[in-house]
Structures are given as C-alpha cells and as structure tokens.
Chain A
Amino acid sequence: MLAACDFSAMEQVFARATAVSDDPSKYSKVFSTGRRSYVRQFNELYYARLNELKPHVLTHAARRWGGKNIAHTLKVLNVEADETTYIVGTVFIDSSKKPSTLDQVEKEHWISDPEISDGYRNGSESVFLEDESGRIRLVGDVVDRSLLVSGIVAAMLGKETPDGSFEVADMCFAGMPPQTARPGVAEDKYVAFVSGLSATVECPVTLEMQLLAEYLCGTLGAASQPPLAAQIAQVVVAGNVLSLPPPPLGHTEDARANDRSAVAALVSAVDSYLADIAAAVPLALMPGAQDPADASLPQQAIHPSMFAQCKQYSGFRSLSNPAFLEVDGHVLLGSSGQNVDDIARYVRSPSTGPADSPCELAAKSLQWRHIAPSAPDTLWCYPFSDRDPFILAQSPHVYFVGGQDLPGSGEALGSDGQHTAVVTVPNFARSHCIVLLNLRDMKCTTARFSATDI
C-alpha cells in the first residue's frame, strides 16, 4: 500500500502550455471561394498568376543575369536566333501521361480500365513556355534534369535553335516572398501535426487512435516522467480524418445500396473522438482528399455542424485546405497533401532520393512562390478570375504537408534571409506516427503509437 504522500505526488496535474492564436477572420478570406461561378474559364487564373509573379521573376532574373548584359525579350515569340536572352512565361508540359477527361469517363462507366500512370513525365513529353503572345518549346539538358511543373512562372535563359525551339541554359523563379520576423519562444512549446486518421465505417476508432487521444489529453504515460503532452499547445489535423466508402456505381435508385446511415454514425464517432482532444488542447481541423469536402482546391472548411461536439470547445477551428494559422506569432501554412502529391508526379524519374522527397518538393514550391502550380492543369482547382490564392504573399515560418508516407522535416531558405521549416506529416492510419514541432528551436520530433498483437 502506498503512503499518502505518494498519492499526492501522483495526483499532480501539470498545466498545459498555452499559445495565442490568430483571429479567425485574419486568414479566412485567403483561400475562400466565396460565391462560386463556374462559367468562367481557367485562362483568367493563368493570366492572374502570370501578371502577379512576373515582376518577381524579372527581379530575380535581373539580379541573376543582369550583370552579364543579357537582354530580356518581352514576348516569347520575339526571340531571335543566335541571341542569348531570357524570357518569362508559364511552364506547360504536354504529356500523354497526364490525366484526361476521357479517361475519367471510362473509369466511371467501366467501359475499359484505363492505365493510371504514377508520373506525368516519361521522357517523351514536350515542355513549353507560354505567355500572352504564344508558346515556345524548351529543349536542353537543363530542362531534362530540372523539376518542372505545369503552371510554374519562370524565366528561361538561352537562345533560339534553328528549328524554332528555345535551348535553355539556366532558369530562375519568383523566389520566396518576404517573411516577418519569427518571435522568440523561451520555453519548449510544441505543435502536434496529425494527418490521415482515416476512420472507417468498420472501425471508426482504432486502438492506436485511442492511444493518441490519451497521449494528447495527458492521461497516458508513467507518473515518474513529466508528460510531454503538457507542452503541446496546438494540435493540427491535416486532412483525411474520414475514409468514406466509395459511392456505389449505378443503382442510384436502390435505397439499400445508397444507405448512408453508417456514414452518419461514422461521422458522429469521429466527432466524439476529436471532441476528446478538443476538450484538452486547441484543435484545428483541415479537410483532405478523402473527407466530405470540396473535390477541388482550395477545399473549404468542413461545415461545423458535422462536428457538433467539437465546436462546444473554444479551441476548435475548422480550416480550409490549404490554410494559414498563427501560433504564438508563428505563421503556419499547411495543406493536406494533394498539391505536393501532384507535384511529385512531375518528377522525371521517380526515385527515393532526398532530392525528390515530399519535403524537398514542398520546399521548392516555396521557391516558386506558388504552393499548387499544377492547378488547374492536373490538380483540380476552382476557376478564380481575379486572383490566384495559391501565390504566397508572405513566407510562412512553418509549411506542413499532410497525408505523406513518411515523416520528414527540412527547411527552405530564401535569398533575402527567409527561413521556413518544412514538415511532412505521415498518414497516421498506416504509420501510427505524428510529428511534434518545437516552436522554440523549430526542431521536429515524431511520436509513434503501436500495439503488438495482444
């Protein structure tokens, strides 16, 4: 039997670290689609993107090549032979591997099983640079070696070839936007990133998810060790909370096939599960590709009525995807992973090297100043007309990407001293792993939950 003093030591309750969050209205309009209209075409989006990024590209190009007395040609079709110059435009990759509407129709109607490629570039594609005047084909080793994604606004240095193509010698991009100074944090304060809970109808809450909730709420852990959970000030769920069963093909009139009552029960169970976490620590929820949200980016915030129990707590926030949020003055930008996954399909020869890791790809997208350049070409996107919301106006302090296979962390460095910590969050249903980011030193730690066959 334990003495009374031992019990008093065990009953110690640690105060949880708190953090100041941004006002919900501060970033709510950035990725808001507002009143939607789909009658417009995507050319307006491309024009807006080119017009906004072109000045930044020219600035970097002038800084990079200006000292070499290399002139800038205003329009891509005005390049002249045997004259080294640089042109600015939007990259377009014409590949047979890119998804087509006809393939999607075949897949839905089961006419034939179309071949789904993992990558869009197989060596036979053509790369073009477009602007208002037209497009010119890009050739050269630099083009073959570099990671180019449809939709990037870039400057290409080279000269015209006899066959009318443009042989590229060098390229540069818009660069990272300005960044506000990162506030100092005196003590360890963590942000926990979770992604891909993937709750299913058959098993809404797994044992690993329960361990995660107990850990975040502070009930898990030996009494002899101070709980790290007390230092977690914010939890971000980066997409794919649910794994909904696919809708039945055909038989739309069959009430039995279309019975979605199990899905309603699943949502209720997930709501109760997340409410356990939201009751202990501020929780921000982002939709993902598998969640009941928009199919195209930017996905709007999941309606709060789906999480009636969660929204009873002051720290619960339903965000869009992508989304900005602030934690103690640190600007965090996050996505549920669709943008980076699509960029990864443009890697010329898919390899497991670090240069092609999701972390590196995310860091490169910051260098392009555009986090979803492949939208709307190969990534579904809303047809904005007056702006491109994926263009970064400021560099975040943290850029996290959910739904990945492995956890990872890296950094993106800007030419003007910008420093962004890049974090990739693994799919929890497969890896049972979350990422903890320490705001004091911007270092990442992973926490893994597992249960052997008991």
Chain B
Amino acid sequence: MSNADDVLRLWVLQEEQVVTYRKLSRELKVHVNIAKQVMLDFYETNKSNCHATFLVTGTKRLSVDFICGGSESTELFMKLVPVTELASAQQGLDNAASHIYSIEHHATNGKHVLAMANISAGPIRDMAEYSAVGSSVTRVSVSSVSHAPVVQSEPPRAAKVEKVVSSPAASVDSSTDKQNQQAEGPSAKPPVKVKDAKSFFGKQISKVAHGNKPDTSSAAKAASAPVKLEPKIPVESQQTDSDVDMDNVEEVQPASKRRVEDMFDDDDFDDFEDIVSASESRANQETQGTVTTASREASDVEMSDSESRDAKASSQDMQVVDSQPGDSRRVRKRRKVSKVKHTKNKRGMLVTQTVEEWESYSESEPEPVSRATPAKRQSAGDSDTKKASGKSKSAVPQRSILTFFGKK
C-alpha cells in the first residue's frame, strides 16, 4: 500500500490535515476496515510524527437500574479517545475492542475539528459500497423527487442576469448616439463584463462585437441601407439578446453555445434591421420612454411585473419602425420595454429596479390589451376621486394634506 502511505504522508505530515478512516477509504476506494488497517500501519511506523484518535467499543453493565421493570441491562459503549487514553478507556468494558479513527499531525484541539474532518470526507451514503454492512433500501426514481431545489436556483440566476443586464441597458439608454456608444468603448466596459458573466448569447456576441466595433459603427452610419452584418451585431442587441430566455446560461458549454447560437443566427438576422433602424430613432424616443417610465414608476410602484411590462411597452413600441419592406420573410420585430423588477437584497429588503429589455414580437400577434388604457383608466379614476373631493389636483403633486382640501 505504497500509494496509501504516500497519501497519508502528504495529508498528515505535509498538509497537516486531520484524516479520518472514512476520508482515506473514500480516497483509496477501499473497504473501511482496510482503510483502518492502513492507517494503523502508518501510525505504527510514524508514531513520533503524528497523533491518533481511537474508537473504543464494548459493553458495560448499567450500575443504575433505569428499567422500571427491575431487571438489569447492558449498554453498548462507543467512545472516541486519544491514543494516550486508549488503555484506560478499555478498562471496565466487556468485549472491549478498538480501532483507529483518525490520524493527525498534532493532537486535535476540540471535537469540532474531528467533526469538520468528517464533513470534509463527504456524505456516508456516497461511500456505501465500502461499508461493512449492506443497505436494505433502494433509491427511488428521480422523477418522484421534488424539483424544488432546481426551481429555487433559477430565480437567483434570473435575478443575477437581470441585475447584470440592467446596468448595460441603462448605459445604453444614457447615450444618444450609437457612434457615441462606440466611442465610449472604455466606458462601455461594464456592459462587456456583464456579458461574460451570464449569457452565452452575450458572451459570443461580445467577442464578436469586440472585433467588429469599427464595422458596426460604419454600419450605423449607413443604416438606411439593409445591412447584412450577421457577425457584426451592435452592442444594443448584445444586451437585449443576453436577457431573453437565459435562465440556464451558466450550464452551457462554450462549444454548445456556439452551436445553439448558430441556430438562432438566422432569426437574429431578421431582427437586426429592426434593431438598426430602432437605434436610429432612439435619440428621439428614449427621452419619451424615460419620462414615461419615470411617471409610471411614481404612480405604479406596486404594480405587478406583467402590468408594468404592458404599461411601459406601449411607450416603447414606437421605437420599432415598420421598416421591413414588403417581402415574404417572417417578420418579427423587437421592441424595447421597461420592466419593473422586484428583488431582495442581502438584508431581505425589497428592491425595485426598472430595467430595459428587448422583447421579440410579431405584427400578427395581438397587441396587449389596453396597455395604455389601464394607465388612462387609473388616471381617470384618480381624477374622478379628486373631482369627487371637490378639487382637481391631477397636475399638481400633493405636498401636504392641506392641499387635498384645496386653496382658499
């Protein structure tokens, strides 16, 4: 067992770890009893350099008659002792036996050290085949297992993606010109970092964008002509693509990412012209969108995400111009919508963020019902209540309760 000696020498003498028999059994993939024997042999040859903990087992006759029936009983006794107390621990026990439990470079300082060593050894069920006793249960099918853990992991990832995306979306909106964005290459670094973190679409696209920034800028200047720049996707589309249906992006391997991306490249190509034309008119639309978004935030802090999405999408619809010529291709457009995301920070506080997202839609799809009408109805309702109170204050924000009763 030279391999075992090497392992123990490395762990115990060099790395000064606390090595339990379970850890060694798992590492060497041997029966637990063999691992115990190997450890004992190692300890015998390296007594001066290491310390051992032993488990003493035996039976003890109970001195206190705890049984209400009045008869005597025996107790199985199992105790962890350092090697210095091994002999004394076995005194007074019937059928006493012992085996080595752990080896360490120095005597452990507290029980918690051994407990941590056991935890680092991994679950016992993972080494069931090395146990001295077989199992009498079977593992049930995975389908019968609750998927709650998987579901629970999604929202944080989604939240991460959204949080990550929110900063580049905000940075995009802040600029008024695509050229400025390209010129702000250094300042656009945060968006690039974002893409690398989460989205495979974004990751690939960012790599492509890095190499093609000058080309995209020239494409933006000549946006009136249809541009077939499949690999040269501008920064905005990166950001928008990155946050579309990307709940499991972390698990996609780079090779598979490229393959999947290739599948979607054709679809993206259809939307690219929309994005290019939309970016041209962004200078005119973003201000409206920002104001609309802000006003909606002020009035609808507690709206649900779906409601806010619908309400704010209407403000952004105009960005997408029907620029598609009458051709036979499937027409899907992208529009920028503002969504209100509610998340929880580390302190458990509710954090509301407004994020800009792109969503794909088709002209053939029905428009969301009364996107603007809920807001209009709400504003109408507000005005009614104000009128019912006798005063119309819809244009003036209420500063104090006295304003509610109007000026005298």
* Residues of chain A having any CB pair with chain B under 8 Å: 1-2, 6-7, 10-18, 203, 205-207, 210-211, 213-215, 217-225, 227-230, 233, 255-256, 258-259, 272, 275-276, 278-282, 304-305, 308, 311-316, 354, 357, 359-360, 363, 406-411, 422, 433, 436, 443-454
Residue of A nearest to B135 (CB): A280
Chain A nearest CB, measured from B365 CB (Å): 38
**Looking at the complex, which one of B53, B73, B111 makes contact with A446 (CB distance below 8 Å)?**
B73
Question: In the complex where A279-B125, A454-B110 touch, is A445 in contact with B36 (Cβ < 8 A)?
Answer: no
Whether A308 contacts B136 by the Cβ 8 Å rule is: no
Question: In the complex where A12-B132, A314-B139 touch, is A354 in contact with B37 (Cβ < 8 A)?
Answer: no
**In the assembly, what is the distance between CA of A336 and CA of B98, in Å?**
34
**In the assembly, what is the distance between CA of A403 and CA of B396, in Å?**
66
Whether B76 contacts A445 by the Cβ 8 Å rule is: yes
Whether A223 contacts B347 by the Cβ 8 Å rule is: no
**In the assembly, what is the distance between CA of A87 and CA of B138, in Å?**
56
Whether B347 contacts A255 by the Cβ 8 Å rule is: yes
Question: In the complex where A227-B133, A229-B133, A454-B111 touch, is A217 in contact with B124 (Cβ < 8 A)?
Answer: yes
Q: B114-148, CB under 8 A of A: which get 1 and which 0? A: 11001100011101101111111111101011101
Chain A nearest CB, measured from B22 CB (Å): 6
**Looking at the complex, which one of B36, B80, B107, B349 makes contact with A451 (CB distance below 8 Å)?**
B80
Q: What are 27 A-B contacts with C-beta separation under 8 Å?
A: A1-B41, A10-B31, A10-B34, A12-B132, A15-B133, A17-B136, A18-B136, A207-B118, A217-B128, A219-B25, A221-B97, A221-B132, A222-B98, A223-B37, A224-B97, A225-B57, A225-B95, A230-B132, A280-B133, A281-B136, A313-B139, A314-B138, A363-B68, A446-B62, A447-B75, A450-B78, A454-B107
Identify which of A14, A206, A312, A408 gathers the most chain B CB atoms within 10 Å of its CB: A312
**In the assembly, what is the distance between CA of A444 and CA of B145, in Å?**
36
Within 8 A of A (CB), among B140-198: 140, 142, 144-146, 148-149
Chain B nearest CB, measured from A167 CB (Å): 31
Whether B136 contacts A315 by the Cβ 8 Å rule is: yes
Whether A449 contacts B78 by the Cβ 8 Å rule is: yes
Whether A447 contacts B138 by the Cβ 8 Å rule is: no
Contacts of B108 in A (CB 8 A): 454
**In the assembly, what is the distance between CA of A12 and CA of B133, in Å?**
9
Contacts of A15 in B (CB 8 A): 133-134
Q: By DSSP majority rule, is chain B's interface helix, strand, loop, or mixed?
A: mixed
Contacts of B133 in A (CB 8 A): 13-16, 217-218, 227, 229-230, 280
**Looking at the complex, which one of B68, B124, B127, B130 makes contact with A408 (CB distance below 8 Å)?**
B68
B331 beta carbon closer than 8 Å to chain A: no
**In the assembly, what is the distance between CA of A13 and CA of B130, in Å?**
8
**Looking at the complex, which one of B69, B95, B132, B136 makes contact with A223 (CB distance below 8 Å)?**
B132
Chain B nearest CB, measured from A443 CB (Å): 8
Within 8 A of A (CB), among B318-376: 347-349
**In the assembly, what is the distance between CA of A221 and CA of B77, in Å?**
11
Contacts of B107 in A (CB 8 A): 454
Chain B nearest CB, measured from A409 CB (Å): 5
Chain A nearest CB, measured from B277 CB (Å): 46
Residue of B nearest to A226 (CB): B132
**In the assembly, what is the distance between CA of A11 and CA of B133, in Å?**
10
Contacts of B53 in A (CB 8 A): 454
**In the assembly, what is the distance between CA of A256 and CA of B66, in Å?**
46
Whether A281 contacts B137 by the Cβ 8 Å rule is: yes
**Looking at the complex, which one of A7, A233, A255, A452 makes contact with B349 (CB distance below 8 Å)?**
A255
Residue of A nearest to B102 (CB): A454
Whether B132 contacts A13 by the Cβ 8 Å rule is: yes
Whether A10 contacts B33 by the Cβ 8 Å rule is: yes
Chain A nearest CB, measured from B91 CB (Å): 14
**Looking at the complex, which one of A220, A221, A311 makes contact with B145 (CB distance below 8 Å)?**
A311
B99 beta carbon closer than 8 Å to chain A: yes
Chain A nearest CB, measured from B90 CB (Å): 11
**In the assembly, what is the distance between CA of A205 and CA of B114, in Å?**
12
**In the assembly, what is the distance between CA of A275 and CA of B145, in Å?**
13
Question: In the complex where A207-B112, A227-B132, A282-B136 touch, is A213 in contact with B124 (Cβ < 8 A)?
Answer: yes
Residue of B nearest to A446 (CB): B75
Whether A450 contacts B80 by the Cβ 8 Å rule is: yes
| Given pairs A11-B33, A214-B124, A255-B349, 6 additional interface contacts (CB within 8 A) | A206-B111, A207-B80, A215-B78, A314-B139, A409-B69, A450-B78
Residue of A nearest to B32 (CB): A219
**Looking at the complex, which one of B37, B73, B80 makes contact with A10 (CB distance below 8 Å)?**
B37
Whether B140 contacts A314 by the Cβ 8 Å rule is: yes
Contacts of B82 in A (CB 8 A): 452, 454
Whether A360 contacts B68 by the Cβ 8 Å rule is: yes
Contacts of A18 in B (CB 8 A): 136
**In the assembly, what is the distance between CA of A363 and CA of B68, in Å?**
10
